[in-house]
Amino acid sequence: MNLPTKIAIGSGLSLIAIATLAYLNKQAKALYDACFTVAGAVVHTISFDNMEFDVLMSIQNKSDMSFTITSQNYNIYVNKMLVAEVANNENVKIASNGQSNMKINVKFNPQDLLKKGIENITALLKNKDSLVVEIKGNISIGAGIVSFKNYKVDERLLMKELLSPSKKTNKC
């Protein structure tokens, strides 16, 4: 093979490599900018000694690549008191160029709030306007050779907003 042919092949391969890296960089940015919002909640149990609900999360992925959430770690707060730590290592598939949903199951004993100094739990449980739920934590996501560890999740809503979400609570 002569030198001009080698240069042409090398230049072509270089251009393909640069275009591929630029595309992957664009998709990685879109993955990182995926929007996670609380879409609502499904309450299973509310009683004096047991509270269980699923927080429904909506994920808006603007990337051409689907991705997988590989681990989730959250601290759940009610009125600024830590009530539950949630860890989930099950893979959750998120579709490309669209919206996907996932749920976070939260269980705790409201009597533990008494031990932490919250009084009048019955009134709190009945008055959803005064019950503030915060979800703080991180997730790890991966898509092929692109991955992010410790992607921050930080959401704060009133229980009434969780139970009846509106377009105003969606930040995407």
Tell me the mean pLDDT per 10 residues along the chain, length 172: 86 88 78 78 85 86 86 87 86 89 85 66 62 86 78 81 61 62
170: Cα separation from own chain's centroid: 13
pLDDT at position 118: 60
- List the domain boundaries for the chain: 3-169
**Cα–Cα distance measured from residue 39 to residue 60, given in angstroms and rounded to the nearest whole number:** 11
Closest to 74 (Cα-Cα) out of 151, 3, 161: 151
> Architecture of 3-169 per CATH?
Sandwich (2.60)
Distances (CA, A) of 83 to 2, 116, 153: 72, 10, 17
